[in-house]
Chain A
Amino acid sequence: MTDPKGRRPAISRRDLLRTAGVAGAAALIPDAVGAVTEEAPPAGPQPSTTGEERVGHPVASGRPLLAGPLTNLTARETEVLSAMVDRLIPTDELGSGALDAGVLRFIDRALSEAESGAAEAYRSGLAALDAYSQYTRGGPFVDLSTIDQDSVLIDVQTGAATGAGAGFVGNSGSFFNLVKGHTWQGMFGDPQYGGNVDFAGWDLIHYPGVRLAVSPEDQKSLEADQLEPVRLSAYDLGLFE
């Protein structure tokens, strides 16, 4: 139950590997924070980029963005969700939208893990979205024109679709915000989670990427261009698990 000496566990092989990882990544850290490596042994081998840590990484796994039906939703539900997120962040002349960026895969994985409690809200909400489209626009959501799809989504977002007999649980805006929130996480979050494929989300907003150190010069000018983008998952740095 307790560490008998009340101390931190003695250094383990895992810790040594970690330390090596820190030193190996020192190139990413400028001198200002170099002290982090002072106590580290000489740089060991670069951290492995194969093996378990990379499973699920969009590039490493080579999986298609939509490998058949999603695990947590039926084919029909997937179709409706797909159409919905495609309207939230469409692919257009400004670049990839939510579908290209792997947002469906992100959501499916989230529903298997951290967001498993939301699966039922997705099921009932997607059914209600379809029912509301049928009642008010005369067809299932996926068959509507993009203009009609947008107007349906505005009704759902504003809560106007609540109580229309479509079956939204609570305010329809809650369902909209649930899907929008996850879509934004999938589009703009770390690609480790299955979304933001090819850093489409970060490119869209000109986010210069994950860095471990930013110099005074990097922050001193409002007029300078944004920093050169670093296009790495935080978990590609070899420092984190």
Chain B
Amino acid sequence: MPTQLRETDVVIVGMGAAGGVAAYPLAEAGLNVVGLEAGTWLDQRDFAPDEIRNNYRDWPMLVNKAELERPTSRATSATAAARVASHPMMNAVGGTSLHYWAQSWRLNPWDFSVVTETARRYGPSKIPAGSTVEDWPFGYDELEPYYDRVEREVGISGQAGNVRGDIDPRGNRFEGVRQRDFPMPPLRWTAFNERMADAARSLGWNPFPGPAAVSTETYDNRPGCGYHGFCNKGGCPINAKNATHITTIPKAIDTGNLKVVTRAHVTRIEVGSDGRVTGVNYVVGSNEYFQPARVVLIASYTYENVRMLLLSKSRAFPDGLANKNGQVGRHYFSHYTGASVSALFPYDLKAWYGLPAQGVAIDDWADDNFDHSDQDFIGGGNLWAMSDRRPISAASMNTYGRGRNWGSAWKRFIRENSDRSHGSYIQKTTLPYEDNYLDLDPEVTDPLGFPVIRITGRYMDNETRIGEFMQDRMEEWYREAGAVEVNRGGTGNAMGASTHAYGGTRMGDDPETNVVDRWGFSHEVPNLGVLGASVMGTSGARNPTLTGQALSWRTAEHLVDSWRDIAE
């Protein structure tokens, strides 16, 4: 029998990018919050600038729950699923916000109303066949105050492009109206970033620095970025990357109302006879505990949020918690970042230092920022030229058809070119489809015997067409900046596990097609909420974390405001 713990107001499963944000407004409002985290606290001492550990081994090794729960993946329901080789999850207080690239975008207004806007401008038949995309239950304006709040509480640097309708050409002219500027100026540009920006301007495009959860000056007593590199899958040794373990979680702890339990491996959410959740079971080592709670918020990675619901079967919910309508796991998608483009330049880029969030963005070809009347797709991509180079990855560079990638001739090549190649990062609109979903693998289990998640998914024509279109734009941009070779990756449709995993517990007003309501609470279980990108119904062409965090703050605030209705 598990040890029965004392009841708490709210239990949050996962102290990462989303749960770590939600904990703060809840604790600040005086609710007693227990944050269960499978990993441990890590600090600056754990964040060595070490490419082998960060990028080639399963860091951190201390807790490897996510590694042992790697999903399986298959393209369609007719093909066999195989275990994915690597996973994007992170077991530590702060979760993936410890080692992510920290790009912290707001979605653009179009992303909230893709169906309505597409139908209005091009007619309803422009929506790709088989897509289950819906408008969000609210527009950008509803989320704006929460974006604003999180940008300040977490600490986001950037250049505004639209403050209360005033367009600033230094920022993104396509962004939604923001009530004020970022709390910190943007990360600086390197000489190569400047060259790319100049090239973009000469093409008539609008380059701007991207937003990042990286301090550019002293903020909340933490230092500004040292631009030392190793930010890609690495933690920050000077605490300039604003992961939740140094931002909102300590603030929540300081209220005296948040208790973080580390090494807590949650196995199941319990349901009472009235159909309400009563708390969660977890294990620490070989000890089992039951944490009763008035409200349960699940805040793991998308795969684990879905898995936790599907594993929590009960008499009331035989197909998994909050899944009477069979929507848990549906509308899953991940950002299509295939169709890569890289380029070789005849000069050193001086890119040995810097970070993936330091770069030049182009939004002219994203969302519906250009006319799609003559295009056979909707949406688009955000072009991103960053400054990120590490020695092993640099030495593993493409040789651009100039001989094989080893041996003495290669040594001469790499000596000259190790700092002359550049790989772009192009995020593209990706839609949910009928045939893409998550469920429990019928065969593969974790060491406790629980099935892992199975991803069934492939990118469809709309995504690969965007891919080819964006490759053309990126090649133009590289050529304008003086590239002598441009290499295009294939536009394959394999999906697999992703660092940008969306859906599975989608948010919407219709319980027939959505798991959670417009506030993030289950349509079927009133005291169960879901946090993170798993509630998002569209991806936009930009990183999900800030939107997930803004939604988390909003869900937490709603819970505080409606405590009696939800918890009692």
A218 adjacent to B408 (CB under 8 Å): no
Question: Which chain B residue has the least Cβ–Cβ distance from A195?
Answer: B52
B199 lies within 8 A of chain A by Cβ: no
Q: Which of B46, B239, B411 contacts A92 (CB under 8 A)?
A: B411
Contacts of A18 in B (CB 8 A): 43-45
Give the 8 A-B residue pairs with the shortest CB-CB distance, closest first: A6-B259, A213-B226, A240-B48, A205-B418, A35-B223, A214-B353, A189-B52, A219-B190
Complex CA gap A219/B223 in Å reads 19
B227 adjacent to A213 (CB under 8 Å): yes
Q: Which of A9, A192, A205, A239 contacts B395 (CB under 8 A)?
A: A205
Question: Which chain A residue has the least Cβ–Cβ distance from B33?
Answer: A6
Complex CA gap A192/B51 in Å reads 11
Query: A residues within 8 Å of B by Cβ?
Result: 1-3, 5-9, 18, 22, 29, 32-36, 38-39, 87-90, 92, 94, 114, 150, 153-154, 157, 180-181, 184-185, 187-190, 192-193, 201-202, 204-208, 210-214, 216, 218-222, 224, 226-227, 234-235, 239-241
Of the A-B pairs whose beta carbons lie under 8 Å apart in the complex, a sample of 6, sorted by A's number, is A8-B41, A18-B43, A192-B50, A206-B415, A234-B49, A240-B46
B188 adjacent to A5 (CB under 8 Å): no
B449 lies within 8 A of chain A by Cβ: no
Which of B70-78, B136-144, B344-352 lines the interface with chain A?
Answer: B344-352
B221 lies within 8 A of chain A by Cβ: yes
CB under 8 Å from chain A, chain B span 56-89:
56-58, 61
B125 lies within 8 A of chain A by Cβ: no
Complex CA gap A35/B219 in Å reads 10
B51 adjacent to A94 (CB under 8 Å): no
Contacts of A88 in B (CB 8 A): 406-407
CB under 8 Å from chain A, chain B span 317-365:
347-350, 352-354
Q: How large is the interface on B (under 10, 10 to 19, 20 to 34, 35 or more residues)?
A: 35 or more
A154 adjacent to B411 (CB under 8 Å): no
B261 adjacent to A204 (CB under 8 Å): no
A222 adjacent to B354 (CB under 8 Å): no
Complex CA gap A32/B224 in Å reads 7
Q: 1/0 per position for B182-195, CB-CB distance to A under 8 A?
A: 00000010111001
Contacts of A6 in B (CB 8 A): 34, 253, 258-261
B239 adjacent to A36 (CB under 8 Å): yes
Given A185-B56, A219-B190: A213 touches B228 (CB 8 Å cut-off): yes
Complex CA gap A170/B34 in Å reads 49
Shortest Cβ distance from residue B558 to the other chain A in the assembled complex, whole angstroms? 24
Complex CA gap A180/B392 in Å reads 11
Question: Which chain A residue has the least Cβ–Cβ distance from B51?
Answer: A189
Complex CA gap A92/B412 in Å reads 10
A224 adjacent to B350 (CB under 8 Å): yes
- Contacts A3-B261, A18-B44, A180-B406 supplied; 12 other A-B pairs, CB < 8 Å: A5-B259, A94-B415, A184-B392, A189-B52, A201-B391, A204-B395, A208-B352, A219-B227, A226-B419, A234-B50, A239-B44, A240-B237
Given A1-B287, A206-B418, A219-B353: A239 touches B45 (CB 8 Å cut-off): yes
B298 lies within 8 A of chain A by Cβ: no
B411 adjacent to A218 (CB under 8 Å): no
Given A94-B412, A190-B50, A190-B51: A239 touches B418 (CB 8 Å cut-off): no
A202 adjacent to B237 (CB under 8 Å): no
Contacts of B43 in A (CB 8 A): 18
Complex CA gap A222/B223 in Å reads 27
Complex CA gap A105/B529 in Å reads 51
Contacts of B406 in A (CB 8 A): 87-89, 153, 180
Complex CA gap A201/B396 in Å reads 12
Complex CA gap A49/B418 in Å reads 32
Contacts of B262 in A (CB 8 A): 2-3
A188 adjacent to B224 (CB under 8 Å): no
B375 lies within 8 A of chain A by Cβ: no
Complex CA gap A3/B259 in Å reads 8
Q: Which of A1, A193, A214 contacts B52 (CB under 8 A)?
A: A193
Given A2-B284, A205-B391, A219-B354: A240 touches B47 (CB 8 Å cut-off): yes
Contacts of B152 in A (CB 8 A): none
Contacts of B57 in A (CB 8 A): 114
Complex CA gap A218/B404 in Å reads 33
Q: Which of B34, B350, B414 contacts A219 (CB under 8 A)?
A: B350
B222 lies within 8 A of chain A by Cβ: yes
Complex CA gap A150/B34 in Å reads 60
